[in-house]
A and B are shown apart, each in its own frame.
Chain A
Amino acid sequence: MQRSRVSALENVSVRFFLVRLGKIFFNLSALFLVLSFCGVLSFFAIAFLFLIGIFVTIITLGTVFSFAPDFWNNLLSGTAFFADVTNFFVQYRFVFTGVSVAAAVAAIVLLSLDRREKHAARTVFAAIFIVLSLIGAFVAGGLS
């Protein structure tokens, strides 16, 4: 009796481990999905910065240059920084996408191995992460 109880508890320990691994891979997949989208987001940040510059110039009717003569230079140095960030993320987009997809697949497999609990929400979100990270990679590819 005691032996059967111990072996049943060992099965539970394995289940705990696999579910924990599945959850970790799910979290990693979400992180790398964000990183794979960073290229696209930082590109939009440059556009947004330009838009702010134009907006401020129009609103102040150009008087902004009288009290901040280096306004555009400062703005352009900001966009240069964002351009570097965009380049970095676009350059490594396939790495981020690959890791995100691999982690999401691992999460789906590990969580579906659990026969006791369904983990429906995490499994569905992991599938969505796969699609989104692939879309992110293609959009970032289009930007480059």
Chain B
Amino acid sequence: MKEIRFKITGLPAQSSPALTADGTPVRLKRKGYGLYDGCFRTEKEVAEIALSARPELSGRMWWLTALITFLLSVFGIFEPPYGKKCFAADLGMLLPLKEDNEIELAFRAPSENGRAADVFAPNGYTETENICFTDKKAKRRRRIVFAVKVLSWLCIAFAAVCLTAKGV
């Protein structure tokens, strides 16, 4: 059984990477600020590694989760803010395997269409994908959530003023 040990460093806050090896999700554990560790075992000679990092609002059910959290947090007052920079990253590589394998993915500062991370693998690797980009969909959704929040606050303020005026 061959073992691959993953080390991910430099991931920006509020980004949660999804790592797969040969199509199987690898469980990552946070070890510190932007530092993640993971481990994967396989019998194959070459492993196909893929890592994707997406902003919070890029999910399919974003509207439902945003609505639920918006209502539960009293119109967004007690809600932690969504990440401002909606950077996403896609990494893919083929890793030839020996008995013991180590791979380090050191994420760079996000830049539009730049390289997402530097890869350090003592046994060598073949890169298929390594890109960082702005998730425009998530950015638009973040704007929508913000606009809804502001609109609802204005409506509440207006209703409060009307009710107070009626009371007087």
Partners in one complex: yes
Q: Identify the A interface with B (CB < 8 A).
A: 1, 3-5, 7-13, 15-17, 20-21, 23-25, 27-28, 31, 115-118
- Knowing A9-B54, A11-B25, A17-B65 are in contact, say whether A4-B60 is a contact too (CB < 8 A): no
A143 shortest CB reach to chain B, Å: 28
A81 shortest CB reach to chain B, Å: 19
In the assembled complex, the Cα of A17 lies from the Cα of B18 at a distance in Å of: 15
In the assembled complex, the Cα of A73 lies from the Cα of B58 at a distance in Å of: 62
**Segment 32-75 of B: residues with Cβ below 8 Å from A:** 36, 48, 50, 52, 54, 56, 58-62, 65, 68-69, 72-74
A27 touches B24 (CB 8 A): no
Q: Does B29 contact A (CB under 8 A)?
A: yes
In the assembled complex, the Cα of A98 lies from the Cα of B162 at a distance in Å of: 33
Residue pairs across A and B with Cβ atoms less than 8 A apart, 9 shown, are A13-B58, A17-B59, A20-B65, A21-B69, A24-B73, A28-B73, A116-B30, A116-B36, A118-B30
Cβ contacts under 8 Å, A21 to chain B: 68-69, 72
Q: Does B78 contact A (CB under 8 A)?
A: yes
In the assembled complex, the Cα of A10 lies from the Cα of B51 at a distance in Å of: 13
B30 touches A28 (CB 8 A): no
A91 shortest CB reach to chain B, Å: 22
B20 touches A27 (CB 8 A): no
A8's partner among B20, B30, B61, B65 (CB-CB below 8 A) is: B20
In the assembled complex, the Cα of A20 lies from the Cα of B74 at a distance in Å of: 14
Cβ contacts under 8 Å, A116 to chain B: 16, 27-30, 36
A3 shortest CB reach to chain B, Å: 8
Cβ contacts under 8 Å, B29 to chain A: 115-116
In the assembled complex, the Cα of A116 lies from the Cα of B16 at a distance in Å of: 9
- Knowing A1-B23, A7-B25, A116-B29 are in contact, say whether A24-B69 is a contact too (CB < 8 A): yes
Chain B interfacial residues counted at CB < 8 A: 32
Q: Chain B residue with minimal CB distance to A117?
A: B30
B27 touches A115 (CB 8 A): yes
Q: Does B79 contact A (CB under 8 A)?
A: yes
B78 touches A31 (CB 8 A): yes
Mask: chain B, 13-27; 1 = CB below 8 Å from A; 0 = not? 000111110011101
- Knowing A7-B25, A23-B80, A24-B79 are in contact, say whether A13-B61 is a contact too (CB < 8 A): yes
9 more contacts with CB within 8 A, not counting A1-B48, A24-B73, A117-B30, are: A4-B50, A8-B18, A12-B16, A13-B58, A16-B59, A17-B65, A21-B69, A24-B80, A116-B16
B30 touches A4 (CB 8 A): no
B56's partner among A16, A27, A115 (CB-CB below 8 A) is: A16
A10 touches B65 (CB 8 A): no
In the assembled complex, the Cα of A3 lies from the Cα of B20 at a distance in Å of: 11
In the assembled complex, the Cα of A116 lies from the Cα of B56 at a distance in Å of: 16
A12 touches B18 (CB 8 A): yes
